[in-house]
Structure 1
């Protein structure tokens, strides 16, 4: 996923729960109008909301901009292994 010795860096900017800009994105695993699952340098990031869509995507630079109404944003890592398994299993049914 990441080269050893490279520093993890990620920025998340949100404006009025309607626009989110995220850097450090490695891959967009899945998305629809209610849920996004992004692989980032800091782990998997799940975003939920309403009327979500990609405004801008540049994986070469690791940038994603999402528009819509944001409800939640959560990192899914080993500390939240049960939550991530449940979330991922819902996505890939």
Structure 2
């Protein structure tokens, strides 16, 4: 059972430093972003990040890593909802 827990923890990781730097692992897709809100699809469901002056600095699709800077106000998970039916993801729109 411990193996299952450690595998799951390695699949998705959130690291918040001083509410200014957010490092994420286990990112599947970036659905939308602006200076106030970033919506991501992660291994654990949709993650919505709210803040001020948010910037996506490093996105590594191959390693599923993402770095966001700015003032992080909150972040919350929700169940995977088929957001693609509502217009598609940011990356999908970018490569059309």
- TM-score, length of structure 1 as denominator length: 0.74
* 1:60-87 superposed Cα distances (whole Å, 9 cap, x missing partner): 1100000000001100117xx8xxx9xx
2:51 corresponds to which of 49, 58, 61? 49
TM-score of the superposed pair, with normalisation by structure 2: 0.72
Cα deviation 1:20-76 (Å, max 9, x = unaligned): 000000000000000000001110000000000011100111000000000011001
Alignment partner, residue 34 of structure 2: 32
Q: Which is greater in Rg?
A: 2
Mind listing any 5+ residue stretches in structure 2 that lack a counterpart? 1-6, 87-96
Q: Give the helix-richer structure, 1 or 2.
A: 2
* CA distance in structure 2 between the partners assigned to 1:59 and 1:73 by the alignment: 21
Asked whether 1:72 is paired with 2:74, we answer: yes
Structure 1 runs of 4+ aligned residues shifted over 3 Å read none
CA distance in 2, matches of 1:32, 1:60: 23
CA RMSD of aligned residues (A): 1.9
